[in-house]
Structure 1
Amino acid sequence: MTASTRATALRKRLDGPLKLAISLALMALLLRAVHWREIFAVLTHIHAGWFALALLLFQLGVLVRAARWQILLRAGGVPAPLALLVRWYFIGSLFNTVLPTGFGGDAVKTVALGRYAGRPGVVLGSVLLDRFSGMAMQMPIGIMALLLAPGAASPTVGWLLGLLFGACALIVLLMARRDWALALQRRFPAVARVKAGQILLDAIPTYGLRPLLASFGVSLIFNALLIGLNICLGLAVGAAIPGATT
């Protein structure tokens, strides 16, 4: 065995324990900032019924988001079973919760399903669009909330929501054009000749309008579940929520 081979084998043996040690150290730092007495005081008086309903809505939310992801993957020519996507959504949620970025789960889902499907570009595009569709549907919900309760936010917030909604609509119209990626390939032919360029071009969502609208419809359902989830959690800990009954 050569010196380089021994060094590689040693790195592989140390890789797992090193990652585990770093993860435990980061978790210890996070847990030190938690006010445990306040949390235990709240948990001892939590309403079990509302909390159970919140957990159920959370599980339904994962299923709904996995179905949205499946719509985008199928539109990109990557068939994937719903059970597999649900599993990777749970794993991605774990990484989003533990890692400080909030986007670590997206990277995990992209790498894992990219290896499974053999089309990392399409998977990357679907993950990005999955995240975008969830955020984009919050814009019309925010505008509707401001219309129902005009004094809930300043006019600046209203104008900002309107601008963001218009930007999201423009992005959707651009992604609905199937000839967009082909035009980029014709304009920059050198990009398609390298592996990274092929993945990048493959990641551009060119699904057509129908799958995009379907994903936005599912996002609306998920946001409704998310609102219900937060209301249930608030009621479970005894928070005063206007319009909700305990």
Structure 2
Amino acid sequence: MKLSNFKTSNPAFTPYFWDDNKKPEAKMTVSGIFVKSMLSILVIAAVTAGVWKLHEDGMDVSWFTLGGMIASIIVSVMISYKNNWAHILVPIYSITKGCFLGGFSAYVRVKFPEMPYQAIGVTIVTFFVMLILYQTRIIVVTKQLRSVIITAAASIFLVYIISFILGFFGIKSFIWGTSWVAIIFNVVAAIVASFSLLLDFDFIERHKNKAPKYKEWLATWGLLVTLVWLYVEILRLMRKLAIRF
């Protein structure tokens, strides 16, 4: 029987002191997500800059691109199944993404030195535009819109996976060229990536001050996935347009 079940006027035996003495569980907050996201982005930027330096010194960084991509996929799967490990896995994910982005954008910098920075600028502007559209409710995330965005994103990733596999057999997919079809595909992918930010904002709004504290890392991971995808699509699109025109 719990001591709190006994009735007494003695303040030392009130439930405040005896009823398990549990502190309220910390909840997910927007400020917590912001801090974790900024730290993760700084890690990605630092690793990217390091890979760029290695490329400038003459090192082949193609393995950073491939290894970072594969490692980030593995870590993402682990985060999906082990949400409570996110505080460990998200920093690792940031490192893997830094390796991928460093190798991927290093080759673009050879012919277009300023293009990666321009792509970062466009990504930041797109982020704030989508945030304003979400906050002002010009675009409302409904169940139908959520389904459309998820379906479109999954379809695009499926095309990328198939194209990647075909590449091992020497078959070049249409999405890697500079044809109008490839450019249109990039435009659609960039639009879907930007709209995916709405899902991240919606997740944060629905769970802030309610979900456990560790889910701040989960929300951070979602934002990183979308922002990196958006940056890659913008950079690829800018490169294709620069080559074609």
Q: Which band: TM-score by shorter chain?
A: under 0.3
TM-score (norm 1): 0.23
